[in-house]
Amino acid sequence: MDTAYSATVEDTLIQIVTPEGVRTAPTMYSELVDDITTDKLRDLYEDLVVVRRIDAEATALQRQGELGLWAPLLGQEAAQVGSARALEHDDFVFASYREHGVAYCRGVDPTQMLRFWRGSTQSGWNPYEYNMTTPAIIVGSQALHATGYGLGMKFDGAEGAVITYFGDGATSQGDISEAFGFAASFGAPVVFFCQNNQWAISEPVTVQTHTTIAERGRGFGVPAMRVDGNDVLAVLAATRTALARAREGSGPTLIEAVTYRMGPHTTSDDPSRYRPAALDDEWRRKDPIDRIERLLEREGAMDESFRACVEERADATAADLRRGCLGTVEPGPMSLFDNVYVDPHPLIAEEPEAYAAYLAGFEGAEKP
């Protein structure tokens, strides 16, 4: 397929599987996932279920006081799994703070996902081990980092592409606009993946824009497409399209994955204060896991044995997650100086000694 097209917006929502689990009429996008056999579709279903279970367990751990905070992804599993499974090893991910499903698909140990939220590390994992950054809390900043990294890949002649994730609310940040402009001007091999989950904390997406988010790419010369973010096959096809453009040197693409945040923005939030229950019910009927389960049932590929196997895998992952979280060793105060500089530095050599002496004096002081 020729992916070199002009800076336009595809406003038609790309969909391959309906909420009822029915395949739509064949299109250029459905052809891009012809390689997804029944076995691979079952693998995607397992990914969706396991990712949801990880999220549920982490939410429970936070409610029990074991995590300081957690950003749930309930309802957004297809957007994350579908896009992550389109990536190749050499591609690099710049995440926000909600891409736990992407991290799982990149091979990150679920326990490592929790260390940042538990406060037992300043990061979580080595980004170069998985070609994925750790959570970015500053909204939208990761899009600029992705653009810079993508330009570096282009100048170095490196293979691969870059993908960066953000929500609908982040599109109102200046960092996102700057990233769009820079990436378009210099042809950075970046896929901007917006998970439009309809809510930026308590504000609906209609406050962020009176057009589609995909439309915003046009002003910067960034081709864009809208995809049903609850359709894992459609997301997979759309992301493959955008990554192919990036790898062939055709520059950036914006993907708006239309999905819904079923839970709170973070565990410190109460969505019932600003969101009508009827809207939750409407989107619950579009659940990404139910959709693929219905498709598998229609195609005779879902039985109790397979379902039980997937649930067993999900429960085992959750048990490992909990065990790893509760067994995490809290960092000592001297770890503050780790990883500040790549090479030894005179200042870093002095400060730990002074801080260690301070701690020794503090610990040895008489208590009142």
Provide the phi-psi class of 119: left if phi over 0, else alpha when psi is between -120 and 50, else beta.
left
C-alpha 283/C-alpha 76 separation (Å) is 11
For range 342-360, the mean pLDDT: 86
Residue 281 has phi, psi (to 5 degrees) of: -65, -40
> Is the pLDDT reported for residue 229 higher than 70?
yes
Q: Which of 98, 115, 118, 265 is catalytic?
A: 265
Least confident of 13-27, 40-54, 111-125: 111-125
Least confident of 146-160, 208-222, 283-297, 351-365: 351-365
For range 308-337, the mean pLDDT: 91
Whether 275 is catalytic: no
Tokens of 191: 């896929």
Q: Which amino acid is at 125?
A: W
Whether 265 is catalytic: yes
For range 81-108, the mean pLDDT: 97
Confidence band, pLDDT 50/70/90 cuts, at residue 182: very high
Whether 274 is catalytic: yes
For range 201-214, the mean pLDDT: 92
Please write the tens of the pLDDT for every residue from 141-179. Answer: 999 999 999 999 999 999 999 999 999 999 999 999 999
Confidence band, pLDDT 50/70/90 cuts, at residue 287: very high
> Is the pLDDT reported for residue 122 higher than 80?
no
pLDDT for residue 367: 46
* DSSP H or E stretch at residue 225: strand 224-228
pLDDT for residue 6: 41
**Parallel, antiparallel or unpaired: strands 203-204 and 199-200:** antiparallel
pLDDT for residue 123: 77
Tokens of 172: 């109102």
Q: Which of 274, 284, 285, 358 is catalytic?
A: 274
Kindly tell me the sign of the dihedral angle through the C-alpha atoms of 121, 122, 124, 128: negative
Q: Which of 261, 291, 294, 322 is catalytic?
A: 261
Burial tier of 357 (Cβ tally within 10 Å: 0-12, 13-18, 19+):
exposed
